[in-house]
Amino acid sequence: MGRLLSDKFAAWKAECEERFLQLKKNEEELNRIFIDIYGLNDELTPDVADKDVSVHRIYDTKEDIPESMKGSAYVRTMRDEIVSLISYAVGCMFGRYSLDVEGLAYAGGEWDASKYSTFLPDADNVLPITDEEYLEDDVVGLFCAWLKKVYGTDTLEQNLDFIAKALGNKGETSRMVIRNYFLKDFFSDHCKTYQKRPIYWLFDSGKQNGFKALIYLHRYTPDTVGHVRVEYLHRMQRIYESEAERMQDTVDHSSNPREAAAAAKRKEKLIKQLKECREYDEKMAHLALSRIALDLDDGVKVNYRKMQTAVDGKFYEVLADSKNIMSKE
């Protein structure tokens, strides 16, 4: 039988609450001891404010956080926990983590394939993110595969529903909610976690979401940009061209006005995405031909700029949030 994320979350929440109450009790007892030793009963109280207890306490939503915990750095919500779970899952997709070993499985150096058997990392270090289900091996498809492996196939839909509810993104289905999270919020959450020094980098063509793909910095090679361009960016352009033609065919032959209008609207969107991808491809071409090598010892900020600077010295912005990540502090 598979396992439900809702049960796992409830158990983890209860465990954190037990730790919180025990630590608060311990701290207050220590305060009583020292107050008695130094004869400060008339001046001090042993009470410890909830917000000053330094272990995590979890709530379902931000609205559930009581006044006594406002200002604490240790408050977490269901969304925070699900975001952490998704981040770990992506780490497994890249091979940074493994379901078979504890701690980091790969953070540079020599790759050890023997560390991975339960869930195999993505072979080419590229996780495409699309706004519709175009590719079976995109990040949402791999996330579903990871959930099946960890929690069981029979609980997949219930677990997807739980994750979607926790994320709170827009979408008609749980998968669409999760897809929208990867499109709009995953990289932002990742940058917050890593304090603007992301280890998963997002290729991003722009506002139309024409092309997005994640890579893992520690598996980057001088051929990565060229591989992303040829195997994924060009592939998405062909998909948009084909889908736009299919929508035009629907417009030309449909006897249903509503269907024809929906097809025309989708075609307009596809054309915008295709245009964005072609413009993005021009920038990617310069960087692909440059075959840029990185040195991990230089740090994220330096390498983020270096990877987007061609041999001619020109900067071609192809990665998300470059201004903030490369900014001087």
Residue 119 pLDDT greater than 70, yes or no: yes
**Is residue 57 a contact partner of residue 75, using CB atoms and an 8 Å limit?**
yes
Contacts of 208 (CB under 8 A, 6+ apart): 269, 272, 273, 275, 276
Give the tens place of pLDDT for each residue, 157-175: 999 999 999 999 889 999 9
Q: What is the pLDDT of residue 2?
A: 67
Q: Binning pLDDT at 50, 70 and 90, where does residue 1 land? A: low
Q: What is the pLDDT of residue 137?
A: 84
Q: What is the pLDDT of residue 309?
A: 97
List, as one string, the DSSP characters of 217-253. Answer: GGG--TTHHHHHIIIIIHHHHHHHHHHHHHHHHHHHH
Q: What is the pLDDT of residue 260?
A: 95
Which structure tokens are listed for 197? 């020094």
List, as one string, the DSSP characters of 254-317. Answer: -S-HHHHHHHHHHHHHHHHHHHHHHHHHHHHHHHHHHT----GGG-HHHHHHHHTB-TTS-B--
Residue 136 pLDDT greater than 60, yes or no: yes
What's the one-letter identity of residue 82? Answer: I
Residue 329 pLDDT greater than 60, yes or no: no
What are the Cα distances from residue 278, in Å, to 131, 138, 215, 283, 322?
17, 21, 21, 9, 20
CA distance 296 to 280: 26
Q: Please state the rounded mean pLDDT for residues 218-235.
A: 98
CA distance 270 to 137: 21
Give the tens place of pLDDT for each residue, 184-214: 999 999 999 999 999 999 999 999 999 999 9
SS3 212: strand
CA distance 176 to 198: 25
Widest pairwise Cα distance in the chain: 91
Question: Would the pTM count as exceeding 0.85?
Answer: yes
In the 3-class helix/strand/coil scheme, how is 168-187 assigned residue by residue?
Answer: CCCCCCHHHHHHHHHHHCHH
Residue 328 pLDDT greater than 90, yes or no: no
Q: Please state the rounded mean pLDDT for residues 102-126.
A: 96
For the chain, what are the domain ranges?
5-77
Q: What is the pLDDT of residue 327?
A: 80
Apex 183 CA angle, 179 and 189, nearest 5: 105
Q: Please state the rounded mean pLDDT for residues 125-131.
A: 97
pLDDT above 70 as % of the chain: 99
pLDDT above 90 as % of the chain: 95
Residue 22 pLDDT greater than 70, yes or no: yes
Q: Please state the rounded mean pLDDT for residues 36-54.
A: 91
Per mean pLDDT, which range of 39-43, 224-228, 309-313 is the poorest? 39-43
